[in-house]
Amino acid sequence: MAAVAADAASAAAPKFTLYTVGTPNGWKASIALELLGLPYHVHKIRLSQQEQKEEWFLKLSHTNDDFPVFESGAILLYLAENHDPEHILLPQDAKARSLAIQWLMWQMGGLGPMQGQAYHFVRYAPERIPYATKRYQNETLRLYGVMERGLATSDFLAGDRLSAADIACFGWVADHKWADLSLDDFPKLKAWLYRMAAIDGVKRGLDVPDKNNLIDNNFGLPDAAEVERAAKQTSKWVLEGNKSG
């Protein structure tokens, strides 16, 4: 999750507050802000305390005071359209721009939801449901295959340069092992992952709101005991959040 609020009073050098957590969706916004070189403050949302359901945050996400923007894909588009004179996030060429937006919509409607469900049934569900686990793992792998084909003739999803499309997909692919998946059958996708990880702005954005060891650990998981501890801890507030609506 992510939301960004712009300070309208400083038009010459926009300042933002990024309300975020260290998830593939949250990293989209922080990576984009880092690549654009825009100054911003970070407010880490405490999901374990259901802070995202508190009235102050709900009001922030659904009013236009100082124009807050919610939904990570919408944040990427907002930044591209208003704070990206060098066209880093979206190409200036109409067809290339459309291709980047197509991939962005694809991630929002496919890769994120499917891999998110794979996370849930692999790590957080209170009971093991083999059908559900395999259904979402297999669908995520199918989507990795779509990316593999998309990267057959270019280094990045929308052509030969990074765009919002790559930013949107990076965190999900980087965290593939949390869904108990492998990239061994997707050599072009794996090469793209390491290509993205070598970009300074991507690395800085991945460390928001907390230091992240995905790249340092070669996209591997910590030891089994730490994985189990983290999964149990997260599962507790995920299931509690489901109860409270």
The average pLDDT across 232-241 equals: 84
Provide the residue count of the chain. Answer: 245
Q: Which of 7-16, 41-50, 72-81, 153-162 has the lowest mean pLDDT?
A: 7-16
Helix (H, G, I), strand (E, B) or coil at 122: helix
Q: Which residues contact 44 (CB under 8 A, 6 or more apart)?
A: 20, 21, 209, 210
DSSP string of 170-208, one letter each residue: HHHHHTGGGGT---TT-HHHHHHHHHHHTSHHHHHHHTS
- pTM of this structure: 0.91
CA distance 36 to 119: 30
Spatial contact of 103 and 150, defined as CB atoms under 8 Å apart: yes
Q: What pLDDT, in 10s, does the model give residues 24-33?
A: 999 999 999 9
Helix (H, G, I), strand (E, B) or coil at 110: helix
> At residue 153, does pLDDT exceed 70?
yes
Place of tokens 């937006």: 101
Q: Which of 161-165, 203-207, 233-237 has the lowest mean pLDDT?
A: 233-237
Band of residue 13 on the pLDDT scale cut at 50, 70, 90 = low
Helix (H, G, I), strand (E, B) or coil at 41: strand
